[in-house]
Amino acid sequence: MSERKNKLIQNLKVRVLNEPYLIINIFFAGVILLIFAYSGIFSPERDNYPVACIHEKLTGQQCISCGLSHSFSLIIRGRIEEAYKWNIYGMRIFLFFVAQLILRVLFSLSFLKYPDTRKQRIIVDCIGSGLMFLITFWPFIVSILAGILSNSH
Amino acid sequence: MEEVKDNKGQNLGIAALITAVITFVLAVIPCVGLIAIIPGIIAIVLASVGLSQAARSSSPRGVLLAGLIIAIIASMISFSQIFVAGKIAQKADKWPNNIQNILNDVQDNVTKQLEDNNVSIKIESNGNKVEINTSANKKDKEKTLEDLEGTDTQKSDSIQKNDSTRKHVVVRKKK
């Protein structure tokens, strides 16, 4: 029984190592989990976040993403209203990361289960994730573009 | 049992793609967008090295190219943020000059007001009192001058332009 289990794990390991898509998915899932861990470890009460806003330090002006770490920490602790006060876009970015974590697991499982439609699945994943990214980060992208246009002349 | 494929540059391609995507997410967040240029450059280097390895062994280049393109776009976004932040910081540097100008204006106003003030000095010693009243007012000075000279002065300020320099001239006419 244990020999069969070992063989299965070994087989899965080899399959995963042979597939870049699966490695990338595992890495992204890990990064997202690290973001959640960061939000959970550092508390908004202590205000002990190691990453400060570089934009604010340089220019002295708050940027559109200021308060995002506070917002994430508050969402993880279930204080949604306070999270909105810290950063209005905190919730949608948090939901994007949650959705991406779920999608990484689902796409990886379907990739292993249905080998015939792998290419189509990767294309759907790339387009879907790209659109999700654009919708989620659209206000940030707009602010960057506005900054470039207003400072170019 | 399957064997692990030995595609040259493939591992570098995976690393480049992961780094590039993380760079892209970081680059669009203004708070950390400025430092995204570092992983962006790392991703470009990884993808370039991977591409050169893949070219030698003619192995697949899809992941490497994807990593390189995403890394370049992410680095450009990050660089644009450095440019924008630099411009804002440059504008912010003008503030000290503005403050200096305001301070100079205030200083000039105070000096003008002091010039038009009356000064009164009182000295008291052993029951003797000495009182000196003097005025720094321009009109008072003119009146004193008239009394002393017994003349009527007519003041007219005119501006003469001599090689872009301005001189204020007071012309006195005798009666």
pLDDT tens for chain B, 175 residues long, are 444 455 777 888 889 999 999 999 999 888 888 888 999 999 999 999 999 988 888 888 888 999 999 999 999 998 888 887 777 776 666 555 666 676 777 778 777 766 666 667 777 777 787 777 766 666 667 777 788 777 655 555 544 444 444 444 444 444 4
pLDDT of A55 > 60? The answer is yes
Contact criterion met (CB < 8 Å) for B13 and A20: yes
Q: Which of A15, A54, A133 sits opposite B31 (nearest CB)?
A: A54
CA distances from A79 to A33, A53, A74, A99, A106 (A): 20, 23, 5, 20, 29
Residue A95, C-beta contacts closer than 8 angstroms, at least 6 positions apart: A136
Digit-coded pLDDT (tens) for A97-122: 999 999 999 999 998 888 888 889 99
Q: Best interface-test mutation with A: which of B28, B32, B69 has the largest number of A CBs within 10 A?
A: B28
The pLDDT, as a whole number, for residue B167 is: 43
For residue A149, give both structure tokens. Answer: 């246009």
Q: What is the pLDDT of residue A153?
A: 63
The span from the first CA to the last CA of chain B, in angstroms, equals 123
**Beta B165-170 vs B157-162: how paired, if at all?**
antiparallel
Length of chain A in residues, anyone? 153
Residue to mutate among A87, A104, A123, A144, with most B CBs inside 10 A, is A144
Q: State chain B's mean pLDDT as an integer.
A: 75
| Tokens found for residue B170 | 């007071």
The kind and range of the H/E element at B31 are none
Please give the Cα distance from B151 to A67 (Å, whole number). 76
Rounded Cα distance between A60 and B11, Å, is: 42
> Cβ–Cβ of A63/B77 closer than 8 Å?
no
CA–CA distance, A19 with A127 (Å, rounded to integer)? 20
Q: Which of residues 8-47 of B touch A (CB under 8 A)?
A: 10, 13-14, 17-18, 21-22, 25, 28-35
How far apart (Å, rounded) are the C-alpha atoms in residues B32 and B38? 11
Interhelix angle A20-41/A68-76, rounded to 10 degrees, is 90
Q: Is the pTM of this model over 0.90?
A: no
Q: How far apart are CA A55 and CA A101, in angstroms?
A: 28
By C-alpha distance, which of A103, A108, A128, A127 is closest to A118? A108
- Whether ipTM > 0.90 holds is no
